[in-house]
Amino acid sequence: MSRPDVSVDSTDPVQPILPIESDPDVKVPLAIEDWLAVSILAVLALITFTNVLVRYFSDQSFAWTEEISVFLLIVLTMAGGSSAFVRNHHIRIEAVADKGSPSRQRRLAILSHTVVLLFFILLTVLSARLVMDEYRYEETSPAIGVPTWWYSIWLPTMGTAIVLRIVGILRRLLRSNVQ
């Protein structure tokens, strides 16, 4: 439904809501995390849609969908987090992080990325210990009966990827000469 008081010219380009930003220069392309996230989201949608159809037509659901979905959501979250850190789209208080002199912004960025780095190192080490315990004690998942370390191994793997991305960010920050 169009409004007669608003003129619409189809030749006018549509302005994006958010400005288009180029990706930072990184040695390992961010397309890895992007394609991983897109692929996982597509698989999640397919699994969920299939389960809805099965539930609709048979009044039962696949038992394995919840386990697989939780595992895929963890990997999706970690891949998105890795990409967000490099692109500087992670959650932060912009009134504090983006105000003041460039040297103050750089110092705050170094401090915050160091804290995040320490957190993800701890997460990676502890989740690796969890995987080792699940492997040693031969734990299996309740619905499918597969070893739970098959799911858990991705947490330290993706945690390591985030640690490496943050190390790269810190290296670039420390090399920049902002006074």
pLDDT tens digits, 34-61 = 999 999 999 999 999 998 999 899 988 8
Query: What's the pTM value of the predicted model, to 2 decimals?
Result: 0.82
Alpha-carbon span 62 to 78, nearest angstrom: 26
162: left (phi over 0), alpha (psi -120 to 50) or beta: alpha
Mean pLDDT (whole number) for 143-170: 94
C-beta of residue 152 within 8 angstroms of C-beta of residue 129? no
Among 18-22, 77-81, 108-112, 170-174, which is the least confidently predicted range?
18-22
**For 106-123, how does the pLDDT look when each residue is reduced to its tens digit (9 = 90+)?**
999 999 999 999 999 999
**What's the pLDDT tens digit per position in 64-89?**
888 899 899 999 999 999 999 899 88
